[in-house]
Amino acid sequence: MSLVYLIPLLPFLGFAINGLAFPKLNKSIAGIIGTIPPLVAFALSLQLFLKFDGKAQIYTLAEWIKVGSLSIPFEFQVDQLSLLMLLIITGVGTLIHIYSMGYMSHDAGFGKFFAFLNLFVFFMLILVLGANFTVLFIGWEGVGLCSYLLIGFWNQKNSYGDAARKAFIMNRIGDLGFLVGIFLLIQNFNTTNYQSIFQSIASGNVPENVGLIAFCLFIGAMGKSAQIPLFTWLPDAMAGPTPVSALIHAATMVTAGIYMVIRANVIFELSPEVLHFVGWIGLATALLGAAIGLFQNDIKKVLAYSTVSQLGYMFMGLGASAYTASFFHVMTHAFFKALLFLGAGSVIHAMSDEQDIRKMGGLKSKMPITYFTFLLGTIAIAGIPPFAGFFSKDEILAHLYHHDFAMWCLAIVGSALTSFYMFRVFILTFFGDFRGTEEQAHHLHESPLSMTFPLMVLAVLSVIGGLINLPHFAGGNEFLAHWLAPILPEAGESAEVSFLTLEMGAPLLAAFVPAFLAIYLFGVKKSVPGADESISGIQKVIYHKFYIDELYDLIIVKPISILGNFCFQVFEFLVIDLIVEGIGRIVAYASTEFRRIQTGNVGYYIFVMVISITLILALSLRTWIL
């Protein structure tokens, strides 16, 4: 047994213990049992990472699916990409488990929460460790399930359950595309193993429908990573507890789509049209998410739309074949977005579950650690150097600049919007006067160490995370690019950026100017967004998320429910019931008629018997004679 198997096994054990022992287990023990598996898994991943010799290792656990000539073993692959993902998942996961011990301490479902979190970590590890698309798909579905369970964690509230179902169903749409993609791969290559497929392609066996395969795979990524048109579940997913939002809906699960595209880069590289499509979908999502984020007043909703928007950036990078840059952004985004979500959670915790930023303000003095770490996260996501977000976003932008100028311009706009809405939230939350109730003001407190410790660690990572792929112009050696080089295509990885040019200046301008604008508007002029009714015009449209949910409701949900009602009320009664109940009625009627011949009189039975025997005898005599 290799230690690799232990990495996913440990969280599963944690899930089993906590899941079976809930609710008998003491809270503090449940928290420790839940937190230790990801911590140990992190240590194991780190050890694997340090000992890694540059060659991808395959660990075959068992024969799994064997049909005809098709054989799909249950196998794990440890290589450059999965190692980094392992570190992110277990590392950020551990921090969020620690945070949850503080955040969920008053919740009755504490043990259940940790069981679900562990199950999520288990499936996420399966997802990134899988050596073929089928194993990846198990993890893919598993994290979807855990996402559903955790979004609807507080299932006493109907709307939360709806949000969970929405997330699950929207993901299913994407999953169907992904599944079709896998089937097409099996049809063309007779295997789903990454290395076999890529070697087959490298040896010149390029199927004709490679574009379709890439497109189907991308549909899967669209669902999981919340891209247009399947993005509306992610903001609703904020119904879940905040650590869940941080772990699943910001740092790890939603980046599974990007992971998958990077993993399948060989396939995507063969179809430039699909890559082009990926880029534009990413751009549209980035802009839409950022625009909606501008006017949201729910602190978690802003972060959710920001996540949608940042995921858009990652797909833009993929569209420009800038895989390293995209993965770099996945990493830094995991740090700063988890930080921001956890910071928001800390604020919500202190505000007694208030999420509206119009009712916050002036929390700076009451919550210094949360304030300072949130500030660092805001600076990182806004793209202000030398924080992590600057390097990763700038690398994507640099590639876009050489790839497609129009895309680059629009991406800069999105970047400016990001900077604006983040500083808006930051200022409204931590500066100015407190706008909440007396009771909330009285209750305000800094969160316990279990919550502030992960904040501090993530804040440090958000600050120095850029070092992992520091570009040459800043004196770095592009560690990540060299690290990932063996699994990525050769070309398109040389985007040298020089100072004091348009491509360097514009992103900086887009980061600083909106930030100052937001500080001026909300910090100096102290304007506070008005009540829901007072807004009008375009702002109202944006505030209501461009009415996209309503649009989907109108063109998809309503027709389906009308069809369902039609089937239920007409088809069901006229066709199904008629046939089924008709048969039943005939049998019932016939039996009531036939039971009359059973009189119960023995003499009558003997008489019938004699008559019958005589008849049979007569008939057989006839056949004998004839």
What residue ranges bind other proteins (CB under 8 A)? 598-603, 606-607, 610
Q: Which is nearer to other proteins, 60 or 612 (CB)?
A: 612
Answer for the pair 45, 88: CB distance below 8 angstroms, yes or no: no
Nearest Cα to 51, choosing from 2, 10, 94?
A: 2
Q: Which is nearer to other proteins, 499 or 594 (CB)?
A: 594
Q: Which is nearer to other proteins, 405 or 604 (CB)?
A: 604
Answer for the pair 343, 377: CB distance below 8 angstroms, yes or no: yes
The nearest distance, CB 586 to other proteins, in angstroms, is 25
Q: Which is nearer to other proteins, 592 or 598 (CB)?
A: 598
Strand partners, 132: 193
As a dihedral over the C-alpha atoms of residue 394, residue 396, residue 402, residue 408, rounded to 10 degrees, the angle is -80
Q: Which is nearer to other proteins, 513 or 615 (CB)?
A: 615
Task: Please name the residues in contact with 462: beta carbons below 8 A apart, sequence gap of 6 or more.
Answer: 332, 335, 336, 339, 376, 377, 380, 387, 388, 389
Tokens for 210, please give them.
Answer: 């490679």
The nearest distance, CB 587 to other proteins, in angstroms, is 22
Report the distance separating Cα 7 and Cα 126, nearest Å: 9
Q: Is the dihedral of CA 429, 433, 436, 442 positive or negative?
A: positive
3-state SS of 575-616 is: HHHHHHHHHHHHHHHHHHHHHHHCCCCHHHHHHHHHHHHHHH
Report the distance separating Cα 508 and Cα 259, nearest Å: 28
Q: Which is nearer to other proteins, 595 or 622 (CB)?
A: 595
The nearest distance, CB 162 to other proteins, in angstroms, is 56
The nearest distance, CB 594 to other proteins, in angstroms, is 14
The nearest distance, CB 598 to other proteins, in angstroms, is 7
The nearest distance, CB 601 to other proteins, in angstroms, is 4
Kindly report the backbone phi and psi dihedral angles of residue 55, in degrees, each rounded to the nearest multiple of 5, phi listed first.
Answer: -110, 135
Whether omega for the bond prior to residue 38 falls within 30 degrees of 0, making it cis, is: no
The nearest distance, CB 611 to other proteins, in angstroms, is 10
The nearest distance, CB 593 to other proteins, in angstroms, is 17
The nearest distance, CB 600 to other proteins, in angstroms, is 2
The nearest distance, CB 584 to other proteins, in angstroms, is 25
Q: Which is nearer to other proteins, 479 or 607 (CB)?
A: 607
Q: Which is nearer to other proteins, 29 or 610 (CB)?
A: 610
CB atoms within 10 A of CB 616: 10
Answer for the pair 335, 461: CB distance below 8 angstroms, yes or no: yes
Q: Which is nearer to other proteins, 26 or 599 (CB)?
A: 599
Tokens for 595, please give them.
Answer: 């039971």
The nearest distance, CB 604 to other proteins, in angstroms, is 8
Answer for the pair 138, 122: CB distance below 8 angstroms, yes or no: no
Kindly report the backbone phi and psi dihedral angles of residue 70, in degrees, each rounded to the nearest multiple of 5, phi listed first.
Answer: -85, 130
Q: Which is nearer to other proteins, 556 or 610 (CB)?
A: 610
Q: Which is nearer to other proteins, 555 or 611 (CB)?
A: 611
Q: Which is nearer to other proteins, 183 or 605 (CB)?
A: 605
Single-letter residue type at 607: F
Q: Which is nearer to other proteins, 571 or 607 (CB)?
A: 607
Report the half-sphere exposure of 164 (CA within 13 A, side-chain side). Answer: 21
The nearest distance, CB 603 to other proteins, in angstroms, is 7
Q: Can you tell me which residue has the tokens 């449940």?
A: 30
How far CA 319 is from CA of 195, 223, 261, 313, in Å, comes to 23, 17, 10, 10
How close are the terminal C-alpha atoms of the chain, in Å?
82
Answer for the pair 128, 89: CB distance below 8 angstroms, yes or no: yes
DSSP 163-228: HHHHHHHHHHHHHHHHHHHHHHHHHHHS--BHHHHHHHHHTT---TTHHHHHHHHHHHHHHHTT-T
The nearest distance, CB 596 to other proteins, in angstroms, is 11
